[in-house]
């Protein structure tokens, strides 16, 4: 626990000390701000405000920006040689991986919290569907955790952050595309399986429309658990090389 907490604290501090994280926050707020503005303009007359607007956008954007948040986590430790020192610290390997993952997830949660501002604006000028929004946010929070866990796994595979980010994006792209594949495959059973495996399949038709289902939450938690397990094994493998 001490190890998890110490690594977690360092990682969170590290996000605030690095320009990449600020750039990502800047880009995220800029794009979501523009989206919100556009949606608001339409909502004046044509339709009610979209409750899952930001989470819906993130479900696609995470494919690219989750790996950017996690590419550093293990690749940098390997390149700087600090991984060797971490592995000689009196903490289990899993503590290092958990601490890092929680640090990334925490930072992502902060970014997500920044976009609450749009909900507050809506609350001030209209009567938005709060339950729907909460469901979408909860979903995208879990979705983000799963995406970050995938990104971190690839950070553990290489010393090169660019390669880590690229591999992470590719993997997430496949997980995301499963949704589209599910729509175009003619065999219904296969389509169903593909969709159940994809990230979108557990978000776009449930959390995003205000539907909370245990199976979707279990899917994201499951992805996180499997990815962290593999990452711990990857870190451990450095002792055998």
User: Which residues of the chain form contacts with another protein (CB under 8 A)?
Assistant: 2-3, 6-7, 9-10, 13-14, 17-18, 80-92, 239-241
User: 17 vs 180, which CB is nearer to another protein?
Assistant: 17
Quick one: DSSP state of residue 48?
-
Compute the least distance from the CB of residue 5 to another protein, in Å. 8
Compute the least distance from the CB of residue 159 to another protein, in Å. 13
Alpha helices in 81-129 (DSSP H): 82-86, 93-114, 116-125
Tokens representing 200?
Answer: 């979108």
Rounded CA-CA distance 136/203 in Å is 8
User: 13 vs 48, which CB is nearer to another protein?
Assistant: 13
Compute the least distance from the CB of residue 91 to another protein, in Å. 6
Tokens representing 169?
Answer: 């994006």
User: 47 vs 241, which CB is nearer to another protein?
Assistant: 241
Compute the least distance from the CB of residue 161 to another protein, in Å. 14
In this structure, are residues 200 and 179 in contact, taking their beta carbons and an 8 Å threshold? yes
User: 120 vs 240, which CB is nearer to another protein?
Assistant: 240
Compute the least distance from the CB of residue 10 to another protein, in Å. 5
Rounded CA-CA distance 199/202 in Å is 6
In this structure, are residues 97 and 232 in contact, taking their beta carbons and an 8 Å threshold? yes
Compute the least distance from the CB of residue 8 to another protein, in Å. 11
User: 3 vs 144, which CB is nearer to another protein?
Assistant: 3
Burial (CB count within 10 angstroms: exposed 0-12, middle 13-18, buried 19+), residue 52:
buried
Alpha helices in the chain (DSSP H): 2-17, 19-43, 53-80, 82-86, 93-114, 116-125, 130-157, 161-184, 188-197, 214-237
User: 89 vs 211, which CB is nearer to another protein?
Assistant: 89
Rounded CA-CA distance 159/37 in Å is 40
């Amino acid at each position: 626990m001490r190890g998890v907490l110490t690594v977690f604290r360092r990682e969170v501090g590290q996000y605030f000390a690095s320009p990449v994280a600020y750039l990502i926050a800047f880009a995220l707020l800029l794009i979501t701000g523009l989206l919100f503005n556009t949606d608001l303009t339409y909502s004046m007359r044509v339709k009610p405000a979209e409750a899952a607007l930001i989470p819906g956008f993130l479900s696609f954007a995470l494919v690219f920006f989750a790996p950017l948040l996690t590419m550093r986590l293990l690749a940098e430790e390997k390149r700087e040689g600090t991984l060797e020192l971490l592995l000689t610290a009196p903490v289990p390997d899993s503590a290092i991986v958990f601490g890092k993952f929680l640090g990334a997830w925490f930072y992502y949660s902060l970014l997500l919290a920044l976009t609450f501002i749009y909900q507050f604006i809506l609350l001030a000028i209209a009567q938005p569907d709060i339950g729907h929004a909460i469901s979408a946010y909860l979903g995208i929070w879990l979705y983000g955790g799963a995406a970050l866990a995938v990104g971190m796994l690839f950070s553990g595979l290489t010393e090169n952050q660019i390669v880590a980010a690229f591999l992470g994006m590719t993997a997430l792209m496949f997980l995301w595309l499963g949704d589209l594949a599910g729509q175009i495959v003619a065999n219904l059973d296969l389509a169903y399986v593909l969709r159940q495996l994809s990230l979108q399949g557990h978000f776009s038709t449930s959390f995003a429309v205000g539907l909370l289902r245990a199976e979707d939450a279990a899917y994201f938690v499951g992805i996180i658990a499997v990815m962290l397990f593999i990452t711990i094994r990857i870190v451990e493998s450095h002792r055998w090389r």
